[in-house]
Amino acid sequence: MVNRLFSKCIVMPNHVSSSQDNFEVVGTFNPGVIRFGDMTYFLIRVAEKPKEKRGVQIPLPRAEKGNILIDWQNEDAITPLDERAFLSKPERFLCPTTISHLRLAKSRDGVNIDYIDDSPTLFPEGPYEELGVEDARITPIEDKFYITYVAVSRHGITTALASTQDFVHYERHGIILPTENKDVVIFPERIGDSYVALHRPLSANPFGPPEMWMAYSPDLIHWGEHHCVIGGGSDWGSMKVGAGTPPIKTPEGWLEIYHGSDKAHAEDTVGVYCAGAALFDLDNPGQLIARSKEPILVPEMDYERKGFLNSIVFPTGIVANGDDLLIYYGAADTYTAVTKLSLHDVLETLKH
- Predicted confidence at residue 342, as pLDDT, reads 98
Q: Any idea where the domains of the chain sit in the sequence? A: 6-351
Instruction: Tell me which architecture the domain covering 6-351 has in CATH.
Output: 5 Propeller (2.115)
Report the number of secondary-structure helices (H) and strands (E) in the chain. Answer: 2, 26
Higher pLDDT, 240 or 328: 328
Instruction: Identify the pLDDT of residue 233.
Output: 65
Residue 24 has pLDDT above 80, yes or no: yes
pLDDT for residue 267: 58
- The DSSP-derived string for 124-138 is --SGGGTT-EEEEEE
pLDDT digits (tens, 9 = 90+) for 203-218: 777 788 889 999 999 9
pLDDT score at 81:
78
Burial class (CB in 10 A: 0-12, 13-18, 19+), 345: middle
Question: How buried is 85 (Cβ within 10 angstroms: 0-12 exposed, 13-18 middle, 19+ buried)?
Answer: middle
**pLDDT given for residue 352 in this prediction:** 62
Q: Give per-residue pLDDT as tens, 236-269.
A: 888 889 999 999 999 999 999 999 998 755 555 5
Percent of the chain with pLDDT over 90: 82
pTM (two decimals): 0.96
CA distance 147 to 168: 13
List, for residues 134-162, the tens digit of each pLDDT value. Answer: 999 999 999 999 999 999 999 999 999 99
Spell out the residues 6+ positions from residue 265 whose beta carbon is closer than 8 angstroms to its own: 272
> Using CA atoms, how far apart are residues 181 and 179, in angstroms rounded to an integer?
5
